[in-house]
Every structure is written in structure tokens, then in C-alpha cells.
Amino acid sequence: MNIETHTLNNTRIAEVLTDDLVLRTPQDGLDLLGSLYYQGFDGIILHKKNITPDFFDLKNGIAGEVLQKFSNYRVPLVVIGDFSQYTSKSMKDFIYESNNGRQVSFLPTLESALQRLNEISN
């Protein structure tokens, strides 16, 4: 796993770059959060391809647990990718509500993720 560092308004953002699944369980989310936070990062960008597809099945609770951890520690998380394949009302509502908050966002591109994190850090 490689980390690309982005700096926005003196805020260090970690973009996780890998071809592997990084987030399979809520514990994986907490481990990633802790590791990057203690390396001095104040925000995280994760690509959708690095998250288990089970995350996007809200019935199993993985997404809720992971996002709760990021909210509790007040570390913004942006997941980037194409989310148009998720057509269930519950997932659409989940993404919509997340995008209207300040802790977790689901956005299409790195540029939009950096813009969102820049807005949050101001």
C-alpha cells in the first residue's frame, strides 16, 4: 500500500493507493484510520475498488460501523469511484446523507474529493 500525500490549507490528506482490498471489516477501517492519523494525516481518500463490495450492502452493517469510527475520531473520509451501480433507495439515501455531512463523502473523482476536503478544512 502506498500513500500519496496531498496538502490543503496545511492539512495533510492521505490518498491510499493499492490494487488490494484495504477495507473488509470495521476493524480494517479502524486500523487504517489509526495508522494514518498517527502518521499525521487529518483526512483520508480511499478508492472504491479498495473496499469490499459487502461494504455497500447496508444490511450487514459494515458501512455504518466504519463511518461511525471516522465520525467519532473526526477524520474526514472521501471514497472516490462510480456509485451509479447502487440503485437501492437505502444506498442512494445513505450516500446522499453522507455527502451532506462533513465527515464522509462519496465522490466521483480525486479532484472533487480534494475540493470537498478543502471546503471542510476551511
Q: pLDDT tens digits, residue range 90-112?
A: 999 999 999 998 899 999 999 99
**Is the confidence at residue 120, as pLDDT, over 80?**
yes
What's the angle, vertex CA 117, arms to CA 102 and CA 65, rounded to 5?
45
Nearest C-alpha neighbor of 36 from the set 75, 88, 69, 85: 75
pLDDT band at 1 (very low <50, low <70, confident <90, very high): confident
Residue 122, C-beta contacts closer than 8 angstroms, at least 6 positions apart: 9
pLDDT at 12: 95
- Split into its structural domains, the chain has a count of 1
pLDDT band at 15 (very low <50, low <70, confident <90, very high): very high
Average pLDDT, the chain: 94
Report the CATH number at residue 45: 3.30.750
Q: From the CA atom positions of the chain, what is the Rg in Å? A: 13
**By residue range, what is the domain housing residue 79?**
2-121
**Is the confidence at residue 68, as pLDDT, over 80?**
yes
Among positive and negative, which fits the CA dihedral 94, 12, 39, 21? Answer: positive
C-alpha cell at 92: 442512494
Evaluate whether 63 touches 28 at the Cβ level (below 8 Å).
no
pTM: 0.94
